[in-house]
């Protein structure tokens, strides 16, 4: 089944830290509607595949008016085109793909290259520091909303959520128009696209040719079978 509680978190980024464990994330603290939320950004993978990422700046959001209309805090998002839902495979902005695999950079495993493996973390830290220093900055994090037993609410799955192998740990997360990302608005940079930054994350195990359910398309299944 698709990911649960597909939503967007809007608020002011105020701090961040690396959290290790079963999966290493960079946790951004977001103040919204008088409460603190967490946006958990993957900076390593949990399934052994290398992370793919892209930081696009300046960036034109697919629905800037939709973001402006959001209340602070967490808002559910319908997994369908024409709104705030994202789809790495299908989304178009100005007649061009929102993001392509070719635009993304490979983040190697820390065991292979410890310095290069921190490139995404370093990029997020630099952007967060700029956002904290900008009194008008906001973050819009799209993914799965969660409630941590009343301790802290937040959002995760801030990455591509389709194309996972059906037999893998994340095959049940596949779906269309439910991908995640982090958008920052930094008014001190200027207006319109100049103020926006996008952080896109995917995994090498995810394929970019998917069917209507977000699963790898049949021809991709067949090719992997023949090659494997």
| pLDDT value of position 226 | 39
Q: What is the pLDDT along the chain (228 residues), one digit of tens a residue?
A: 699 999 999 999 999 998 887 778 899 999 999 999 999 998 887 666 789 999 999 999 988 889 999 999 999 999 999 999 999 999 999 999 999 999 999 988 777 888 888 899 999 999 999 999 999 999 999 999 998 766 679 999 999 999 999 877 788 899 999 999 999 999 999 888 899 999 999 999 999 999 999 999 976 444 444 344
| pLDDT value of position 167 | 78
| pLDDT value of position 228 | 42
**Is 85 inside a domain boundary?**
yes
**Is 195 inside a domain boundary?**
yes
The dihedral built from the CA positions of residue 140, 141, 147 and 152, taken in this order, carries a sign that is: negative
**Is 199 inside a domain boundary?**
yes
Helix, strand, coil shares of the chain, percent, nearest 5, are: 20, 35, 45
Measured in Å, how far apart are the chain's first and last C-alpha atoms? Answer: 26
| pLDDT value of position 49 | 77
Enter the DSSP assignment of 1: -
| pLDDT value of position 26 | 92
The pLDDT tens digits for 12-45 are 999 999 888 777 889 999 999 999 999 999 888 7
Closest of 3, 13, 6 to residue 183, by C-alpha:
13
CB-CB contact of 210 with 162 (8 Å): yes
Q: How many CB atoms lie within 10 A of CB 147?
A: 11
**Is 52 inside a domain boundary?**
yes
**Is 222 inside a domain boundary?**
yes
The pLDDT tens digits for 47-61 are 667 899 999 999 999
CB-CB contact of 187 with 194 (8 Å): no
Domain containing residue 219: 6-227
Q: How many CB atoms lie within 10 A of CB 135?
A: 8
| pLDDT value of position 150 | 65
| pLDDT value of position 69 | 94
Please state the pTM of the whole predicted model: 0.91
132's tokens: 């904290």
Closest of 143, 105, 131, 128 to residue 195, by C-alpha:
131
**Is 1 inside a domain boundary?**
no
Closest of 176, 169, 180 to residue 205, by C-alpha:
169
How many independent structural domains does the chain possess? 1
| pLDDT value of position 219 | 62
Closest of 37, 41, 69, 22 to residue 182, by C-alpha:
41
DSSP string, 147-211: E-TTS-EEEE--S--S---TTSTTGGG--SS-B-EEEEE-GGG-SGGGGEEEEEEEETTS-S-B-
| pLDDT value of position 85 | 97
CB-CB contact of 30 with 141 (8 Å): yes
**Is 75 inside a domain boundary?**
yes
């Amino acid at each position: 089944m698709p990911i649960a509680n597909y939503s967007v978190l809007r608020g002011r980024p105020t701090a961040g830290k690396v959290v290790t464990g079963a999966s290493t994330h960079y946790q951004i603290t977001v103040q919204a509607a008088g409460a603190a939320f967490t946006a958990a950004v993957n900076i390593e993978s949990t399934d052994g595949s290398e992370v793919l990422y892209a930081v696009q700046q300046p960036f034109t959001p697919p629905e800037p008016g939709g973001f402006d209309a959001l209340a602070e805090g967490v808002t559910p998002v319908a997994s369908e085109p024409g709104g705030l839902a994202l789809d790495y495979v299908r989304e178009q902005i100005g007649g061009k793909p929102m993001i392509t695999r070719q635009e993304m950079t490979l983040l190697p495993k820390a065991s292979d290259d410890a310095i290069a493996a921190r490139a995404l973390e370093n990029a997020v830290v630099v952007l967060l520091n700029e956002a904290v220093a900008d009194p008008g900055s906001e973050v819009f994090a799209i993914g799965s909303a969660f409630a941590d037993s009343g301790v802290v609410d937040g959002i995760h799955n801030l990455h591509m959520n389709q194309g996972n192998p059906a037999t893998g740990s994340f095959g049940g997360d596949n779906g269309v128009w439910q991908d995640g990302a982090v958008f920052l608005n930094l008014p001190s940079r200027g207006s319109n696209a100049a103020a926006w930054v996008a952080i896109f994350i995917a995994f090498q195990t995810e394929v970019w040719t998917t069917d209507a359910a977000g699963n790898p398309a049949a021809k991709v299944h067949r090719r992997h079978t023949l090659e494997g």
